[in-house]
């Protein structure tokens, strides 16, 4: 009996040691760098410049072809007025009339150019929520701490910070070694097909291959995991795919006093519930780099689970699922976003329809997602149709073992005081994917600390940015422009 107890104890000791040894493999030492001193900028002037752009209501929607494009032309004029040195030094080209491409010629034409991207458009502000805004959504209000309005976070802040950085560098007499492009698409919020795609196609026709691209993407987040109270900068090396499905059902109209067991609306409601309750399987590939980067800074339980996913995957997934942001990092997500049906409260509907939006994790294709939904719903009364133009695969994953990435990581650490940097997959869609054909090294990063309470402001109510954070964004772009502008990758 004693020998069996001893044997079990030995197995437990060796098993525990095995788990701990694997856990220690996460404990790689982060290499600190010498921070750069922040440049003293006129943050109030930068804030007013951002306010100017917010007041231009460059709102993209699906009926954009019928819109008045005067706000875009107004924004062009503001960028010309507020950045005179940039406009004098860089050449500007209008692409498809409303998108802008600036070129800053480099001294060494043998180096591939680099490109910094932003977009000029914003999403609408829901009129029904107007009274919930502290300041009107397009007022561009500037107070002592914030700039308010649609675009303050997505992403006229990014646009203005880039322009401010280049204006500063030109004023200082800086001249880049390699050519730098600033590319500003006008329709990113409706997939960038007339903006960034046209810019990329124009560059391709000129025979231009890019050395690196930086667009919006992952940002600096606080409290990304329970028990993790330090900020982490997530550099997105790729982005999820996109798919919108029309889910519809027909019914027999008639008086609601003698209804069938299910109406068309009931059928759709059941289908939506099944889709929501049966998501695609979780995968840890996209979040593993975070665990590897954070290493010993994670709470011990997280270290053990992330180093031994072969044993703790189920528990780890359940923990990650508790956060909507982290859940989006480990699986293809679905969201029922629109629904319609019925004409009167006492008339059974002849037709009901809903739209479900999916964001595809790399490895989950459009075909796989549609097959999964069909199997999940398993109801011949429900029709599934891919909405035209609303589906594409996840992007390519750019290398993170490359000079362009290392230099970007260096700039982040230098400006943000040796913050932890980790690669990630961006859950949204950006203009960046349109440049993949002419560039292998496409990264997505927004140099902004986003607190948990700020996340809901993007595309939501009371969008705003701290003036000091806007100034820090400018400092970051000054640094990365210098580093990439001089690098010879």
**Residues catalogued as catalytic:** 121, 188
Residue 358 sits at φ, ψ, to 5 deg, of -115, 145
Residue holding tokens 């859940």? 327
- Residue 342 tokens read as 């019925």
What span, in angstroms and rounded, lies between the C-alpha atoms of 341 and 356? 15
E-only strand ranges, 316-382:
333-341, 347-348, 351-360
Angle at 199 (CA atoms; ends 194, 202), nearest 5 degrees:
115
Q: Which two tokens stand for residue 225?
A: 């995991």
Burial class (CB in 10 A: 0-12, 13-18, 19+), 221: buried
Counting other chains too, the contacts that 406-412 makes at CB distance below 8 Å and 24 or more residues apart are 407/480, 407/483, 407/484, 407/487, 407/489, 408/212, 408/214, 408/235, 408/443, 408/445, 408/480, 408/484, 409/235, 410/33, 410/483, 411/476, 411/479, 411/480, 411/483, 412/233, 412/235, 412/445, 412/447, 412/476
User: How many residues appear in the chain?
Assistant: 489
Alpha-carbon span 50 to 488, nearest angstrom: 33
By CB atoms closer than 10 A (0-12, 13-18, 19+), residue 456 is: exposed
Q: Determine contact, residues 356/244, Cβ cutoff 8 Å.
A: yes
Q: State the Cα–Cα distance between residues 118 and 116, nearest whole angstrom.
A: 7
């Amino acid at each position: 009996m004693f020998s069996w107890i001893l044997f079990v104890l030995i197995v437990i000791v060796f098993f525990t040691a095995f788990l701990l040894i694997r856990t220690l493999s996460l404990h790689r030492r982060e290499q600190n760098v010498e921070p750069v001193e922040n440049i003293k900028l006129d943050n109030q002037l930068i804030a007013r410049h951002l306010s100017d752009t917010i007041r231009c209501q460059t709102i993209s929607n699906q009926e954009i072809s019928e819109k008045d494009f005067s706000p875009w032309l107004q924004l062009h004029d503001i960028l010309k007025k507020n950045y005179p040195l940039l406009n004098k030094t860089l050449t500007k080209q209008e692409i498809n009339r409303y998108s802008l491409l600036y070129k800053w010629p480099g001294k060494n034409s043998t180096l591939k150019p680099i490109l910094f991207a932003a977009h000029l458009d914003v999403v609408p502000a829901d009129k029904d929520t107007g009274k919930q805004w502290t300041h009107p959504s397009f007022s561009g209000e500037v107070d002592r701490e914030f700039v308010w309005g649609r675009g303050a976070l997505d992403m006229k802040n990014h646009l203005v910070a880039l322009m401010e950085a280049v204006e500063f560098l030109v004023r200082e007499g800086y001249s880049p070694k390699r050519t730098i492009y600033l590319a500003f698409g006008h329709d990113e919020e409706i997939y960038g097909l007339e903006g960034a795609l046209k810019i990329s196609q124009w560059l391709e026709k000129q025979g231009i291959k890019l050395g690196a691209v930086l667009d919006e993407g992952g940002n600096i987040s606080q409290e990304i995991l329970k028990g993790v109270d330090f900020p982490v900068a997530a550099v997105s090396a790729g982005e999820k795919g996109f798919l919108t499905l029309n889910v519809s059902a027909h019914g027999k109209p008639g008086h609601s006093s003698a209804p069938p067991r299910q109406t068309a609306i009931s059928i759709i409601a059941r289908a939506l519930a099944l889709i929501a309750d049966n998501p695609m399987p979780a995968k840890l590939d996209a979040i593993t780099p975070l665990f590897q980067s954070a290493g010993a800074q994670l709470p011990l339980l997280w270290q053990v689970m992330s180093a031994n996913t072969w044993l703790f995957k189920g528990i780890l997934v359940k923990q990650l699922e508790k956060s909507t942001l982290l859940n989006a990092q480990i699986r293809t997500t679905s969201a029922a976003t629109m629904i319609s049906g019925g004409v009167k409260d006492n008339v059974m509907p002849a037709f009901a329809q809903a739209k479900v939006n999916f964001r595809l994790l790399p490895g989950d294709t459009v075909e796989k997602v549609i097959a999964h939904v069909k199997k999940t719903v398993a109801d011949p009364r429900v029709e599934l149709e891919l909405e035209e133009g609303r589906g594409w695969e996840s992007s390519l994953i750019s290398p993170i073992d490359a000079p362009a990435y290392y230099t970007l990581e260096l700039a982040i650490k230098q400006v943000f005081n040796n913050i932890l940097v980790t690669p990630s997959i961006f859950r949204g869609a950006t203009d960046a994917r349109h440049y993949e054909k002419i560039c292998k090294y496409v990264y997505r990063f927004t140099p902004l600390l986003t607190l948990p309470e700020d996340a809901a402001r993007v595309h939501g109510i009371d969008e705003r940015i701290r003036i000091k954070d806007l100034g820090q964004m400018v400092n970051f772009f000054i640094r990365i422009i210098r580093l990439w502008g001089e690098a010879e990758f």
